[in-house]
Structure 1
Amino acid sequence: MKKTYIFLSTLVLVTTAILTTALKPVSEPIKLGFIPLTDCAPLVAAKELGLFEKYGVNVQLSKEASWANVRDKILNGELDGAHCLFSMPLSVYTGVGGKAGSEMKIAMVLNNNGQAISLSKDFCGQVGFKDLKKVNGAVNELKKKKEVTFAMTFPGGTHDIWLRNWLAAAGVNPKSVGIITIPPPQMVANMKVDNMEGFCVGEPWNGVAVAQNVGFTHIATQDIWKNHPEKALVVNKDFSASRKEDLKKVMKAVIEASRWLDNMGNRKKAAAWLSKPYYVNAPVAVLEARLAGSYDLGCDLGEQKYKGDNMMFYNNGIVSTPQKGHAIWFLAQYVRFGYLKSAPDYKSIAEKLILDDVFAEVAKEMNVPIQPDMKPFKTAFDVEFDPNSPTGYLALTKR
């Protein structure tokens, strides 16, 4: 009788535990968008490695068609956040790429480097790798035959600004050529049907253009600005306020995934994941090569090797910090290239949109060194930029 009682008591306890677990409310899902680009890798790796679950969040990844789609879904709350152009929140808030005053929050940076400017075969043999001196002449020659058009992915986005900086450095007035917006996965197809003569986009689409013999890699963005901010984890304003602890858990998972990705021995596996149709849907060989920093340039230009300045996701903590100084640089570019007719309130916009306080908490808990902010820096083809004096920089660029 005693044994029966013990058995029944144990059964009741076990059954209660099972029912309690079954009835325990599941955490509300977090929906994060991404565009099919190599640098969505931190979100993909965090998902594939089970890191979101490790940190206690239920994350669903959503493949999106365009940056405009990502913008709209973050703003209306359909997405809680996304792999996003670092400068998109700045562009949207200032009215360059959206309704002025709309707030999207920058939680952390996902990667540095790894974008490129590709040119069509029209320029093959006329312009070489990083050969900016010949670009203006080649463009002028081509203008005699047809209108010359370049493509980027979002007005005021990172690709747009790299393209305009490159044109200016090459002596081409951006207003003298056509500049159109094309979603990243559609770049190669549009060049194939002669809709543009060049484009700036993230990988793997520059590598795909070479593999399909449609164009060649003229310059990588790390050649324009080494270790530049590129994609960021951008989140819905209300989500960042109401679910701050969940956001921190997402950031922790992404940081751990970013560290894993910067072990170069793991990039082959990452390329295999990214190649899947539900992620980037591109040839694994192209993804793998450019992740490794090995660029077949096309157009008989040979191969370029990047080491230490290829696409980086953590880089000993250098990547992750969202810097106000970098945000102010992008805002200054909007003035420089005529997107804004007058200077915005640089510092207040950067402070409003960058969640540096949340990042500081996560960085402390994850032992991530926070990078110094608001220090002057210089890109490859430009004058020095002091975030504390954007007007001084703009005066120098007008000379």
Structure 2
Amino acid sequence: MALPENKSNRKVSRRAVLASAAATAALGGTQVLLPRPLYASVARPETTKAILGFIALTDAAPLIIAKEKGFFAKHGMPDVEVAKQASWGTTRDNLVLGSQGNGIDGAHILTPMPYLISTGKVTQNNVPTPMYILARLNLDSQCISVAAEYADLKVGLDVKPFKAALDKKKASGRAVKAAMTFPGGTHDCWIRYWLAAGGIDPDKDIETIVVPPPQMVANMKVGTMDCFCVAEPWNEQLKNQKIGYTAINTGELWAKHPEKSLAMRADWVDRHPNAAKALLMAVQDAQMWCDKLENRKEIAQIVAKRQWIGAPYGDVVDRLEGKFDYGTGRIVANSPHIMKYWRDHASYPFQSHELWFLIENVRWGKFTGKEDFNSLIAKVNREDLWREAAKELGVPAAQIPRSKSRGVEKFFDGKSFDPENPSAYLASLAIKRA
């Protein structure tokens, strides 16, 4: 997508030209395509360095591509480090430390986590570490996978046959387990919603366990769990190794649902507002590049490398291109639930979406429901910074949402979430702790 030139900013500073040339040289002569150079009117970043964590998942691609293709350098942040984390728990711990304590400044992160960290719900001694969400990184394309022992069931959106099989397994004295990646995180929300919609209480009928994303396949292979929820490429790898199969793409639960976010320590952003904007512009730039289907093979080649995801290219590329072989005979060649990095306002952090995650965490007992969520969201969600960066970047007005809310959301089981009346949504749910 070619973005329009801001006529008031046509003159490029000598420093910006040199920085752009240096970035190109660093890429071995590869020309960066999107969308325009750093202009003289952009305030100079207070620092050129930040350390951003990521987990080995394809939805970390905007950060990986921003580094590999020179977008950070293009926007005056050449010293950004994108550092692999072992788990979401490690990500949390390193965010609490901050780079000054040999941790990290920000991260590719499960959207609810900045709220859980900011409120001290998941930190040591419940000490809060204030966080800001600067952008959403993607929509859709997580998956729920089921072990090969249930291959005859071909489990999908309807989990009732799965429930009967789990009940039979439990009656024989064997444990049944569902794995997700972090308590209260997005994958926890998706697998709980799916199970509960089919009458399986995720706290009573099955044991819910935490497994880091890159360890999901190995744990399923040794029989640790009956099902799991995680991002790619681990569902595809599971299917390719014939250890299990894909039950659903999470976009089938909730079309165009929010997933990962870019979050930073609040104190880092407050100390470096210009650097935060430059970093955000680089990520937006990378998201636009990632969203182009013609770039998806190259993305797969890059992120599959050992220092990033460390998985075979064949496990990465198909689902990035929207080709979903569920391993049950069901094949979707052009899935509407392909991972979206920019289209459909994928990058904008709608505050209504974060309210849904908070209400789900009330549902399952992480919050009491007595909290002032509107005030909390106003502190953590920095959609104002996203808008500033997008306008500076020259993003067309049609690609910048007019409202902080996407409105009423509808789910596969007929439930609706109205951000103006979240209590009605919570009341409509049969299985819950609240």
Runs of 4+ in 1 over 6 A off after TM superposition: none
How far apart, CA to CA, are the structure 1 residues paired with 2:334 and 2:150?
Answer: 23
How far apart, CA to CA, are the structure 2 residues paired with 1:289 and 1:304?
Answer: 11
- Counterpart of 2:329 (choices 287, 301, 308) is 301
Aligned to 2:7: none
* 2:141–2:339 contact (8 Å) kept in structure 1: yes
Aligned to 1:150: 178
SS at match of 1:219: strand
How far apart, CA to CA, are the structure 2 residues paired with 1:242 and 1:27?
Answer: 10
SS at match of 1:373: coil
Deviations 1:269-290 (A, max 9, x none): 0000011000000110121001
| Residue 68 of structure 2 corresponds to residue 48 of structure 1 | yes
- Counterpart of 1:190 (choices 193, 215, 219) is 219
Aligned to 2:190: 162
Deviations 1:78-136 (A, max 9, x none): 21111111111123334543336332211000100110001101211124333334222
| Residue 331 of structure 2 corresponds to residue 310 of structure 1 | no
* 1:111–1:311 contact (8 Å) kept in structure 2: yes
- Counterpart of 2:379 (choices 342, 352, 363) is 352
Aligned to 2:118: 93
Amino acid corresponding to residue 177 of structure 2 in structure 1: T
* 1:252–1:362 contact (8 Å) kept in structure 2: yes
Deviates more, 1:100-109 or 1:258-267: 100-109
Give the drift of 1:344.
2.2
| Residue 242 of structure 2 corresponds to residue 200 of structure 1 | no
- Counterpart of 2:56 (choices 32, 36, 47) is 36
SS at match of 1:174: coil
Aligned to 1:388: 420
How far apart, CA to CA, are the structure 2 residues paired with 1:236 and 1:341?
Answer: 25
Deviates more, 1:368-377 or 1:33-42: 368-377
Aligned to 2:156: 129
| Residue 393 of structure 2 corresponds to residue 373 of structure 1 | no
SS at match of 2:163: helix
Amino acid corresponding to residue 231 of structure 1 in structure 2: K
Aligned to 1:119: 146
* 1:331–1:344 contact (8 Å) kept in structure 2: no
Superposition TM-score, scaled by structure 1 size: 0.89
Aligned to 2:355: 328
Amino acid corresponding to residue 345 of structure 1 in structure 2: D
How far apart, CA to CA, are the structure 1 residues paired with 2:152 and 2:234?
Answer: 21
| Inter-CA distance 391–26: structure 2 relative to 1 (3 Å threshold) | closer
Amino acid corresponding to residue 169 of structure 1 in structure 2: A
| Inter-CA distance 343–383: structure 2 relative to 1 (3 Å threshold) | farther
* 1:121–1:216 contact (8 Å) kept in structure 2: yes
How far apart, CA to CA, are the structure 1 residues paired with 2:137 and 2:120?
Answer: 24
Aligned to 1:103: 130
| Inter-CA distance 303–49: structure 2 relative to 1 (3 Å threshold) | same
Aligned to 2:95: 74
Amino acid corresponding to residue 393 of structure 1 in structure 2: Y
How far apart, CA to CA, are the structure 2 residues paired with 1:152 and 1:384?
Answer: 24
Amino acid corresponding to residue 425 of structure 2 in structure 1: Y
How far apart, CA to CA, are the structure 1 residues paired with 2:290 and 2:131?
Answer: 26
Amino acid corresponding to residue 350 of structure 2 in structure 1: Q
Deviates more, 1:85-94 or 1:365-374: 365-374
| Inter-CA distance 196–347: structure 2 relative to 1 (3 Å threshold) | same
| Residue 82 of structure 2 corresponds to residue 61 of structure 1 | yes
Amino acid corresponding to residue 199 of structure 2 in structure 1: G
Superposition TM-score, scaled by structure 2 size: 0.82
Amino acid corresponding to residue 248 of structure 2 in structure 1: I
Deviates more, 1:140-149 or 1:89-98: 89-98
Higher Cα Rg: structure 1 or 2?
1
- The CA RMSD over aligned residues, in Å, is 2.0
Amino acid corresponding to residue 205 of structure 1 in structure 2: W
How far apart, CA to CA, are the structure 2 residues paired with 1:243 and 1:189?
Answer: 41
Aligned to 1:238: 267
How far apart, CA to CA, are the structure 1 residues paired with 2:371 and 2:430?
Answer: 18
Deviations 1:155-179 (A, max 9, x none): 1000000011011111101112100
SS at match of 1:315: coil
Aligned length: 374
* 2:284–2:390 contact (8 Å) kept in structure 1: no
How far apart, CA to CA, are the structure 2 residues paired with 1:234 and 1:337?
Answer: 24
* 1:105–1:235 contact (8 Å) kept in structure 2: yes
| Inter-CA distance 295–373: structure 2 relative to 1 (3 Å threshold) | same
Deviates more, 1:216-225 or 1:27-36: 27-36
SS at match of 1:268: helix
Aligned to 2:281: 252
Deviates more, 1:86-95 or 1:198-207: 86-95
How far apart, CA to CA, are the structure 2 residues paired with 1:68 and 1:265?
Answer: 35
